[in-house]
Amino acid sequence: MDFNGSDTIPGPRAEDQLPHTAQSAVKIVIVGGFGVGKTTMVGSVSEIKPLTTEETMTQAGIGVDDNYGSPSKTATTVAMDFGRIRITDELVLYLFGTPGQERFWFLWNGLFEGALGAVVLVDTRRLEVSFDVMGRLEERGVPFVVAVNSFPDAPRYPVSDLRAALDLSEQIPIVECDVRRRASSRDVLMTLMRFLHSLAMTGSLA
């Protein structure tokens, strides 16, 4: 019996069902430092109600979690965020947002497993937190694009300057976005899919 007193088990919601035409499912990870917008991105673009594992930040995190640039942030992802978006009737992306704090990075290996590609979200106020993130992706051989989340008070730089600061090759796409907007987040994912397609066409994608 469910909590409504009915002895029938509710079926899955219609919006959670994949179309019968779906032929390809791709795992994508959304990574970045603490407070760069990973949970927001998954939530804004997912066509199903996203799964989040946010917990309220407590006094125990003082001196451990760096919330520079996000002083009003009161919750943090402790495991992962999960969402899904259908790009076409045949192609579906499963989105996994990683926790940002370094103390939870031990979870990343499992989340990276089987991922075809990644989005690295960066905040121009804290570019330095992106280096370890990108290094881990490179070690795992996971192709990625860089998405600069446009925070209102964050400085804006030319793409060439960002590429130099992040020490990225010309091959890796860098795009600006506002992860609060579904269309902007979807554009980032489309950039990643085009990048993965170009790698596959040149034989660079394992």
Structural domain contains residue 8: no
Range scoring the smallest mean pLDDT among 50-54, 84-88, 93-97, 173-177: 50-54
pLDDT confidence bin for 205, thresholds 50/70/90: confident
Which of 128, 153, 184, 182 is CA-nearest to residue 71?
153
Q: How many domains does the chain have?
A: 1
Structural domain contains residue 10: no
Structural domain contains residue 4: no
Q: Give the residue numbers spanning the domain of 148.
A: 19-201
Asked whether residue 24 carries a pLDDT value surpassing 50, the answer given is yes
What's the pTM value of the predicted model, to 2 decimals? Answer: 0.77
Q: How far apart, in whole angstroms, are the C-alpha atoms of residue 133 and residue 143?
A: 12
Structural domain contains residue 101: yes
Structural domain contains residue 165: yes
DSSP-based three-state secondary structure for 43: helix
Q: How far apart, in whole angstroms, are the C-alpha atoms of residue 35 and residue 113?
A: 23
**pLDDT tens digits along 29-77:** 999 988 899 999 999 999 998 887 654 444 444 444 555 555 544 454 4
Distances (CA, A) of 9 to 1, 13, 15, 141: 7, 12, 17, 43
Structural domain contains residue 156: yes
Structural domain contains residue 11: no
Backbone angles phi, psi at 82, to 5 degrees: -140, 135
Share of the chain above pLDDT 70, in %: 70
Share of the chain above pLDDT 90, in %: 53
Asked whether residue 174 carries a pLDDT value surpassing 80, the answer given is yes
Domain CATH code at residue 94: 3.40.50.300
Structural domain contains residue 1: no
